[in-house]
Structure 1
Amino acid sequence: MRHSLIKTIILACAITLGAPVTTAAASSYPDKPIKIIVGFVPGGPTDLYARIAARGLAEILGQQVVVENRAGASGGIAAASVAKAEPDGYTLLVNVVSDIITPLAKKNVGYNLEKDFSPIGLIADAPNVLVVNPSVPVNSLKELIDYARQHPHTLNYGSAGTGTVSHLAGALLASATNTDITHVPYKGTNGAQMDLLAGRISMMFDNMTNGLANAKAGKVKALAVTSPERWPDAKDLPTMTELGFPGVTIMSVFGLVAPAATPKPVVEKLSNALAEALQNKEYRNNIIQSGAQPGSMNAKEYGEYIAQESRRWEKFLEQHPGIIPAE
């Protein structure tokens, strides 16, 4: 009885003494520069949205926010390093879809986005557009599917790498239509785009800005977008859902997360600052002009999204083992 009472008193003291420390740390946060880690080289979309977020957070929080690029392993090197960083709110990560999926397929990557991070919010998201080389004799998704079925082992699609949205969209399409379309992974989007234009690959799920520009120039044929609804910049293009394939809906997401044990008041301060920054007209326009839309998910909502997508991809990977090699 006495032992239990002593434990209760100790626990109560720990809670009482610990709370002000956390609160004090949050109230003075940030008192030094914040780093946002990006798992890809400068100049790409992830880097762009990280820098928009950095400018907005710096303006609102009154502290320097720097972007550091740690490219490699489709973003995995950066994610693993941030997962192990001090959970004090001074090291953050811009995550992408592959950060959700790769740890589900590869158990030794050193992190799990759902378990090892605290969501802060969504910076931006965008669909991809299915584009085909003009040499492929199709002008609609239905014609593409029919052609793939009539000519098995003929079509292939390029991607920015295994586990990226451009890869997974193709895998979803092949699964939903029961067609044999070979995946050709590249080390980044540029290589796939160049080979598509040269006719060395049949098609790809490209980003909206590049895909629509090439379609307008007659260099490729655009067939559909992967967003749940028609995209403002491509209202003439149907969605996969409209065409009968809702399972091929997939968005490129760019979110902001912190290490898992980051104090809740710090996460809330960052989430509120990000939401405020994304209301800035200049930052919103920068995101929209890049072919994306500004994020509207706060910490709680983005956490729910990550959990939902984790369950979706766990199921898909169980049904399609080998889509992402385990090693």
Structure 2
Amino acid sequence: MKILTLTALAMAFGDRHSASRGLAAIAAAILIAGLLPAAAGAAQPDYPQRPLRFVLGFPPGGTSDMVARAIGELLADNLGQPVVIDNRPGAGARIAGEVVARAPADGYTLMLTSGSYTVAPSLYRKLPFDIERDFSHITLIADSPFMLAVYPKLAANNLQELIAYARTNPGKINFASAGIGVPSHLAGELLAQMAKLELTHVPYKGSALAMTDLFGGRVHFYFTSIPGALPHARAGRVRALAVTSTKRNPALPDVPTMVESGLKGYRAGSWYGLTFPRGVPAAIVKRVGTIVQKGLSAGGLEAKFVEQGLEMRRNVTPKEAAEFIREDIAYWATVIKRAGIQPR
């Protein structure tokens, strides 16, 4: 059984000219179904009896979307019901978070969580949800480490040489990010804090613009996703100095970790997890989590994720997922405060 998007479902209602009317009908049907009360405990063994809605706070086409679709297909195959992918990009994934936090706790709406949700409490004065209180966390899926990519003509062939160069040129070394407060920005701030460097942050509206300026030397380095940077590193347009994972990444076996390179305790990057709204019955949470964890151990899905530079998370229980999220919020709150980033 395959996953579906709202647009694909709408086409079933008619030709392309009536697709918009079909989309509205399907969206309304899903929303109405979501408003129905949860089934009684005796009916839970029959779960699910209708399609599931899988919300994510990012647009189609990126790594987040790939992860959501792979997990959605896994769930559809094992639960016997379609999984509708609902992309809700914008506002640092807060739109998606609010949608799911307000959804009924019946097991028919779930969300792809990521590092965006654990930095949000320190970046925004008011959030429409509490990532710890308003969700029933199911499991963690994978870590998404960064590559420390530098301008290839920079006089730095490893992390220690980059640190030394920055120390002799205080305030003159620029690092790019995909925006203020995003994980790539915080990875650079963490490097500055741990190595006691004076760096200049240059935020961009997205990764593509940041990477383009790195090619031209207008910025000196950029913590960026491995799949996006890997072709450029192989082509010599950037130099890979390190990865932010705890062990070497299979896609870059010759590139050391930040810890190997002398920055003990450094941890940055993003991650992906799965969550329901708060209050979903424990039996449903357990069933979905078990399906996902078994799927992550299957060769095909693992190979697909590793190809994207992801590192699998295995056998993570709901309790362990909740503990990780609590710890990650505290970890990045310290980095954000030290960096002087003011909540908006």
What's the TM-score, normalizing by structure 1? Answer: 0.88
Aligned residue number for residue 300 of structure 1 = 319
Return the letter of the residue paired with 2:318: A
Aligned residue number for residue 49 of structure 1 = 67
Of the candidates 330, 334, 338, which is equivalent to residue 315 of structure 1? Answer: 334
CA deviation after TM superposition for structure 1 residue 21, in Å? 6.2
Return the letter of the residue paired with 2:335: F
- Give CA deviations for 1:257-285 in whole Å, capped at 9, x if unaligned: 11112221121111112112223322222
Task: Tell me how far apart the structure 1 counterparts of residues 196 and 331 of structure 2 sit (CA, whole Å).
Answer: 19
Does 1:146 find its partner at 2:153? Answer: no
Aligned residue number for residue 12 of structure 1 = none
CA deviation after TM superposition for structure 1 residue 200, in Å? 2.4
Of the candidates 244, 265, 273, which is equivalent to residue 226 of structure 1? Answer: 244
- C-alpha change, 1:88 and 1:133, in structure 2 (3 Å) is same
Of the candidates 277, 297, 304, which is equivalent to residue 279 of structure 1? Answer: 297
Structure 1: unaligned runs, 5 residues or longer:
1-19
Does the 8 A contact of 1:74 with 1:161 survive in 2?
Answer: no
Between 240-249 and 116-125, report the one with greater CA deviation: 240-249
Of the candidates 174, 199, 205, which is equivalent to residue 192 of structure 2? Answer: 174
Percent sequence identity over aligned pairs: 38
Secondary structure of the 1:241 match is coil
CA deviation after TM superposition for structure 1 residue 235, in Å? 2.3
Between 158-167 and 54-63, report the one with greater CA deviation: 158-167
Aligned residue number for residue 8 of structure 1 = none
Task: Tell me how far apart the structure 1 counterparts of residues 133 and 147 of structure 2 sit (CA, whole Å).
Answer: 31
Does the 8 A contact of 2:249 with 2:309 survive in 1?
Answer: no
Structure 2: unaligned runs, 5 residues or longer:
1-37
Aligned residue number for residue 23 of structure 1 = 41
CA deviation after TM superposition for structure 1 residue 65, in Å? 0.5
Question: Deviating runs (4+, > 6 A) in structure 1?
Answer: none
Task: Tell me how far apart the structure 1 counterparts of residues 46 and 203 of structure 2 sit (CA, whole Å).
Answer: 46
Instruction: Note the 1:242-253 alignment, pairs <5 A.
Output: 242-253=260-271
CA deviation after TM superposition for structure 1 residue 199, in Å? 2.4
Between 78-87 and 307-316, report the one with greater CA deviation: 307-316
Task: Tell me how far apart the structure 2 counterparts of residues 26 and 34 of structure 1 sit (CA, whole Å).
Answer: 15
Secondary structure of the 2:240 match is strand
Does the 8 A contact of 1:209 with 1:291 survive in 2?
Answer: yes
Between 24-33 and 62-71, report the one with greater CA deviation: 24-33
Between 48-57 and 197-206, report the one with greater CA deviation: 197-206
Task: Tell me how far apart the structure 2 counterparts of residues 46 and 274 of structure 1 sit (CA, whole Å).
Answer: 16
Secondary structure of the 2:275 match is strand
Task: Tell me how far apart the structure 1 counterparts of residues 142 and 197 of structure 2 sit (CA, whole Å).
Answer: 32
Task: Tell me how far apart the structure 2 counterparts of residues 128 and 166 of structure 1 sit (CA, whole Å).
Answer: 8
Does 1:195 find its partner at 2:213? Answer: yes
Secondary structure of the 1:157 match is strand
Task: Tell me how far apart the structure 1 counterparts of residues 214 and 203 of structure 2 sit (CA, whole Å).
Answer: 12
Between 36-45 and 157-166, report the one with greater CA deviation: 157-166
Of the candidates 275, 278, 290, which is equivalent to residue 257 of structure 1? Answer: 275
Aligned residues: 306
Aligned residue number for residue 87 of structure 2 = 69
What's the TM-score, normalizing by structure 2? Answer: 0.84
Does the 8 A contact of 1:104 with 1:112 survive in 2?
Answer: no
Task: Tell me how far apart the structure 1 counterparts of residues 279 and 322 of structure 2 sit (CA, whole Å).
Answer: 14
Task: Tell me how far apart the structure 2 counterparts of residues 158 and 112 of structure 1 sit (CA, whole Å).
Answer: 30
Task: Tell me how far apart the structure 2 counterparts of residues 24 and 104 of structure 1 sit (CA, whole Å).
Answer: 42
- Give CA deviations for 1:73-124 in whole Å, capped at 9, x if unaligned: 2212111221122121111111111211112332302122222211111222
- C-alpha change, 1:161 and 1:95, in structure 2 (3 Å) is farther
Does the 8 A contact of 1:52 with 1:283 survive in 2?
Answer: yes
Task: Tell me how far apart the structure 1 counterparts of residues 74 and 186 of structure 2 sit (CA, whole Å).
Answer: 31
CA deviation after TM superposition for structure 1 residue 141, in Å? 1.1
- Give CA deviations for 1:286-324 in whole Å, capped at 9, x if unaligned: 1111111333123222222112212222333344432xx
Aligned residue number for residue 31 of structure 2 = none
Task: Tell me how far apart the structure 2 counterparts of residues 186 and 81 of structure 1 sit (CA, whole Å).
Answer: 27
CA deviation after TM superposition for structure 1 residue 256, in Å? 0.8
Secondary structure of the 1:236 match is coil
Task: Tell me how far apart the structure 1 counterparts of residues 226 and 174 of structure 2 sit (CA, whole Å).
Answer: 20
Does 1:266 find its partner at 2:284? Answer: yes
CA deviation after TM superposition for structure 1 residue 150, in Å? 1.3
Aligned residue number for residue 96 of structure 1 = 114
